[in-house]
Chains A and B, each alone.
Chain A
Amino acid sequence: MAIVEHNLPRSAGRPWSGVLLTVAGRLAQMALTLLTASFLIFVALQLAPGNPVDIMLGAKAGDPEAVRRLNAQYHFDQPLLVQYGHWLTGLLHGDLGTSFVFRESVSSLIAARVPTSALLVAYGGVLVLVLGFAVGLVASRAGRTVDTGISVLLSVALATPTYVIAIVLITVFSLYLDWFPVFGSGDGLLGRLHHLTLPAVTLALSSSAAMARVTRAAVKDEEGRDHVTTAVARGLDRRTVLGRHVVRNALLPITTIAGIIGAGLIAGTVIVENAFGLDGVGSLLVQAITRKDYAVVQSTSVLIIAAFLLVNAFVDVLYGIIDPRTRTGGTR
C-alpha cells in the first residue's frame, strides 16, 4: 500500500482524470470532424457531373435493365441519406464496399496501398526535420554571405512546382547518374527506401525550405530574448546557451508549423505518387476520381482527412510536452 501512495502524483487524482478528459474530448471532436467531412464528400460526389453507372456499363450504357440492376446493386436508387447510412454502417464493420473499376473490395485495395504512402510521408517527414532544421540552424548562425545564399536557395525551392522538381531529380539522379530507380517499389525495407528516395526528396523539398525558414527566424528571434541574456550572464558556455535556451525554445514556433508541414506532405503524396508511378493511396485517389469510382473516392478521401487529423493531434500533444505553459497547473 505504501508503495502505491509513493507513486501517486503530487496532487493525486486530478491531473490524470484531467488528461483523460482532454483526450476523450479530443477523440470525440476528431470523430465529429470525420463524420462531417465524410458526409460532405458523399454529397459532393453525388452532385458531381457524370454518372458512374454509365461509365461502368460502357457500350451498354443505354440498356435500362442493366442500369436498374447496377443501381440496385450499388444502392444508387435509394435516397442520399440512406446511401450514406449504408456506407457508415459498412465502415463500422470494416466493409467499405466494392470498387467497380478494380472489381475488388475497397478496404483491401486501400490496405495494399497504405504502406507505400505511409512510408513516403514518413521518409519525407524525416527529411524535412533533418534537412530543414539543419539548414535553418546553419543559416541562423552563418554570416551574411552564407545566410543570403541559403535564403536564395530556399526561395527557389519554395517556388518550384513539385512536377518540375520531380523531372529535374529523375533526369539528374536516375537517367544521368543512375543512382536511383525511376519506377517501381522495390523489395524489403531498404529496397523500398531506395526506390522511395527521389519521391521523398521531391515531396519534402519545399516543406524543408519552409521548415528551414521558420527555424532560422525562430532561432534568431529567440537569441534576442531576455532569458538568453540571463543565461549568458550566468556564465553558461555558448553551447549550453544555444542548446538549452535558444534552440530549445525555438522548438515552440517550429512545432507550430509542423502540423501544416505534415498536412502538406500528406497532400503532396497525391502529386508525387502520380509523378513517380507509385502505387499509393494518393495515386489511387486520382485514378478513382477520373473513373468516378465513388466507393474508392469516398473512403480514400476520408482516410486522408483522418491522417490530417492524426498529424494535428500528434502536434498538439508534442506542443503540450515542449511548452509547459500550455499544461494546466498553477501554484501562485
Chain B
Amino acid sequence: MTPLLQVDDLHLTFGGRDRQEQRLLHGVSFTVAAGEAVGIVGESGSGKTLTLRAITALHPPNARIDGDIRFDGLSVPAMSPRELTRLRRDHVGMVFQDPHAAINPVHRIGDYLTETYRKDGRKQRRDATTRALELLHQVRIKDPARILGCFPHELSGGMLQRVMIAAALMRGPRLLLADEPTTALDVTTQAEVVALIADLRRDRGTSLVFITHDIELVGALCDRILVMYRGRIVEQLTPAQLHGGEISHPYTAALLACRPDVTRRRDRLPAIAAGAFEEGWAVQ
C-alpha cells in the first residue's frame, strides 16, 4: 500500500545563480501512512517549517526544491497551479502557530470558516455554515452561533486556535499539518488544544504531521517521532523507544534534557552548540 504522504530525498536551496547558494534541507525523507500521526521535533531553525510548507508547495518563492513529494501517489512538485489549489483546499488542512497573525483580522469568523465555499452554489454555502457550526461545537467552543459573527480580535488565542483547527477540517482533509499550533498559547490552553487535535484526528482517521520543539509532547500525541537537526532527519523513533530510552542520537538526548521540566527546575538550559552533533552521524 502506498503511504498517504511520501517525502523523498527533499533538498531545499535558497539563492543560486549569482548569489551564494544556501542549502537548508539536506535530503529529508519520511512517509506518513493513512491515519498515522507523525511528529517532527527539533530546535528552532532546524528546518521543520520549511519541510512542512514544502509538502503543499508553500515554500518561499525564492527557494528551489529538489527531490520528490508524493501525496496519495501524485507528485506535488509536478502539479499545476490548479491541482495545487485543489490539493490544498480539499485534501490538506493546515494549522499555524500564531492564530492572530494567521487569520485575516477584517473578516468575521463565519466568513473565514466558510470561505472556501464562496464559489460554490447556494445550497453548498448554506451547508457550509451548518458544518461550521458543527465543527465549532466539536472543537469545544461554546455558543458557536455567536462566534460566527465575531471578528478574530474579539477571541482569545486559544479560542482562535480552535477556530483555525475547525477551519482546517471544514472540507474533511485526509492530512492535517500543524506547525507548532500550541507554542503561542498559555500552558493550560496548550494541553487542551493538543488533546483536541488528538481526539479529532483519531475520530476521523485523519493523518497528522505535528511540528514542535517539545519532544515529550510529540511522544504523547504521535505514532512516530522524527528528530530534525540542521536540515536533516537524524533519528526516527516510536514513543515506546523514546520512553524506553532507546535513543541513539545524542541530539535527541539533548532535546530531552532541554525540556524545561516543571517538577525538576534547572538553573540553566543546556545549550546545544551548532554542529555539535554533526560528526559521524549519518541520516539513519
- Interface residue tally of chain B, by bracket? 20 to 34
- Does B202 interact with chain A (Cβ within 8 Å)? no
User: Would B150 and A331 count as touching, CB distance under 8 A?
Assistant: yes
Interface stretch among A66-74, A120-128, A244-252, A306-314? A244-252
Interface stretch among A78-86, A198-206, A294-302, A318-326? A318-326
User: Would A226 and B96 count as touching, CB distance under 8 A?
Assistant: yes
User: Would B101 and A244 count as touching, CB distance under 8 A?
Assistant: no
Chain A nearest Cβ from B189, distance in angstroms: 13
User: Would A235 and B151 count as touching, CB distance under 8 A?
Assistant: no
- Does A142 interact with chain B (Cβ within 8 Å)? no
Chain B nearest Cβ from A2, distance in angstroms: 20
- Does B140 interact with chain A (Cβ within 8 Å)? no
User: Would A329 and B154 count as touching, CB distance under 8 A?
Assistant: yes
Closest to B94 in A: A233
- Does B79 interact with chain A (Cβ within 8 Å)? no
User: Would B154 and A235 count as touching, CB distance under 8 A?
Assistant: no
With contacts defined as CB atoms under 8 Å apart, how many contacts are there between chain A and chain B in the complex? 82
User: Would A331 and B155 count as touching, CB distance under 8 A?
Assistant: yes
User: Would A232 and B102 count as touching, CB distance under 8 A?
Assistant: no
Within 8 A of B (CB), among A234-275: 234-238, 240, 244-245, 248-249, 252
Check A235/B85 contact, CB under 8 A, given A227-B103, A249-B106: yes
Closest to B118 in A: A240
Check A229/B85 contact, CB under 8 A, given A236-B116, A248-B106: no
Chain B nearest Cβ from A324, distance in angstroms: 4
The interface of chain A, by Cβ under 8 A from chain B, is 10, 225-227, 229-238, 240, 244-245, 248-249, 252, 322-325, 329-332
The interface of chain B, by Cβ under 8 A from chain A, is 56, 58, 81, 85-90, 94, 96, 98, 101-108, 115-116, 118-119, 146, 149-151, 153-156, 167
- List 23 contacting pairs A-B, 8 Å CB cutoff, sorted by A: A10-B149, A227-B105, A229-B96, A229-B102, A230-B96, A231-B104, A233-B88, A233-B94, A234-B88, A234-B167, A235-B85, A236-B115, A236-B116, A237-B85, A238-B81, A248-B104, A249-B104, A249-B106, A252-B106, A323-B106, A324-B151, A329-B151, A332-B156
Question: Given A10-B149, A235-B90, A324-B153, 5 more contacts at CB 8 Å?
Answer: A226-B102, A230-B94, A233-B88, A249-B104, A324-B106
